[in-house]
Structure 1
């Protein structure tokens, strides 16, 4: 009997032990599942919050001018960061001392211009470098957005036909941008200042191509693409070799896949009428402004002098073709190629079409202007055998195509 009792005791103990082990395993599994559900719920909740925030962010774009991307979404944070010594590694643009700039500009007495951002001064640095310094006007609230736009965009945009941002200053409650000094000033001054020697026709076409190449890079070489939004003659600067560079990126914005709605920004006369109506800016807004600039080069008039009304006068169909010769700048004294004039004017007229989709792309514009210059060079060469002339033409075309390919990359 005693042995039977011991056996029963061992059996009961084994059963109880087994049940306890099963209970522990089940409890552990339940805990793990609850913990997993908690994590999943947190993840979903975070995802939902991100989606909701993105939707709210997208909605907040409507009717506003400044982008709500990570670059501009917290302007005060970026401005504070720009004042720190370590910001050079963040944006890649050197930071200059306010005192050094003050000394280089002779206490800000070397004014060379005035823009929407503020006054511009010539600075002769102790290093031997010569800069143009744009100083944000104290009463310019929008200037803070423009200051950030230029620093953040030009830190990553580099092209022969864009001005180079060489540095900035952000201290003493002053915001400044430092550029390479462009010794020949703006295109505006050469076209409209009586004290300047009139630009030749050949140089005007070359300048147009320089500007077009700069815009082509913004539209197709930059990632993501950039819309300049303020192309005008005063924003085209000329270096010592009269090579043109696009300047002033304060209003520039990324060209997203989805059209962007904004307040109307730009300069009267250069602004795309379709943009004014729809409040949506695209690359074709720059194309329209470039068309106006082409007509400014042709006529020597700016939009404030009734430029586009003057152009419409030439489009009156009296004899079956456009009379572009009637509106050419009188300062050219008739020294221009009539065929080139017709090609450039026709290109400009297509650029200012009221319907944006009918306008050419900046890539098409570069190809057209390049072709005009290539034909001019070929015509000026001495007579050659057909084979030699053909070979040189193929070489020029190949060089242009390679240059375009490099810009696109």
Structure 2
């Protein structure tokens, strides 16, 4: 397993690689027990997340539908490559960082840094925490910090990403908490480029997300 661990981006230059680190399917399958259901943590609108740990490096793997399950392989290819190109250019302390990817056979996987404290949904809906009064959210300071972190991440996507990105599915399951309880926005597989940005070769993104959380104006 030690050969799987590779260095992070080096240097302090703002110019980083436009494509994320590439892993083989064998490496990811080995690390996740062949994508066993025991390692899965959740299912999003466009794929599942499978959590695993390799020594000092924690990551989460987003595995979308394989080609045979899609209407056409071409649609899947376009979606995967568009997502990879954008995610590779996004760097902000309140976004979950893309670590790498795998493009092999019919598999297309995105590898993210793993958030140790799970999603905001967990403490919000954990009945045991509520009954014991020991939820981290009992602190107003923590609540304000989480809201501030989340808004900074969204503000970066809307106003500073090039092109601007509209997330479309902001909810507690997509707000993840790192080891320091810093909130990070996650699941950019649901993004829409801002209509103000003219990007001719991009085709419309099909509707996806959670009813009640999608801004109706982005569906027009």
Q: TM-score, structure 2 length as denominator?
A: 0.74
Residue 181 of structure 1 corresponds to: 114
Q: Does 1:134 align with 2:62?
A: yes
Q: Does 1:148 align with 2:77?
A: no
Classify 1:171/1:191 alpha carbon distance in 2 versus 1 (closer, same or farther; 3 Å).
Answer: same
Q: Which runs of 4+ in 1 moved over 4 A?
A: 140-146, 258-264
Classify 1:169/1:209 alpha carbon distance in 2 versus 1 (closer, same or farther; 3 Å).
Answer: same
Is contact 1:145-1:250 (8 Å) kept?
no
Partners of 1:169 and 1:179 in 2: CA distance: 12
Partners of 1:187 and 1:102 in 2: CA distance: 28
Residue 8 of structure 2 corresponds to: none
Aligned residues: 188
Residue 124 of structure 1 corresponds to: 53
RMSD of equivalent CA atoms: 2.7
Is contact 1:136-1:143 (8 Å) kept?
no
**What 5-or-longer segments of structure 1 have no aligned partner?**
1-88, 280-409
Is contact 1:146-1:249 (8 Å) kept?
no
The structure in which a higher percent of residues are strand is: 2
State the Cα deviation string for residues 82-130 of structure 1 (Å, max 9, x = none): xxxxxxx98421110111111111222322222223232223337x422
The structure in which a higher percent of residues are helix is: 1
What displacement does 1:212 show? Answer: 0.5
2:103 pairs, out of 170, 179, 183, with 170
Secondary structure of the 1:214 match is helix
Partners of 1:274 and 1:254 in 2: CA distance: 13
Greater length-normalized contact order (CA 8 Å, ≥ 6 residues apart): 2
Residue 3 of structure 2 corresponds to: none
Is contact 1:169-1:175 (8 Å) kept?
yes
Secondary structure of the 2:188 match is coil
What displacement does 1:240 show? Answer: 0.8
Structure number, greater radius of gyration: 1
Classify 1:224/1:114 alpha carbon distance in 2 versus 1 (closer, same or farther; 3 Å).
Answer: closer
Q: Does 1:255 align with 2:191?
A: no
Residue 211 of structure 2 corresponds to: 268
Partners of 1:151 and 1:232 in 2: CA distance: 22
**What 5-or-longer segments of structure 2 have no aligned partner?**
1-15
Secondary structure of the 1:250 match is helix
Is contact 1:182-1:238 (8 Å) kept?
yes
State the Cα deviation string for residues 336-379 of structure 1 (Å, max 9, x = none): xxxxxxxxxxxxxxxxxxxxxxxxxxxxxxxxxxxxxxxxxxxx
Is contact 2:59-2:112 (8 Å) kept?
yes
What displacement does 1:235 show? Answer: 0.9
Secondary structure of the 2:146 match is helix
Q: TM-score, structure 1 length as denominator?
A: 0.42
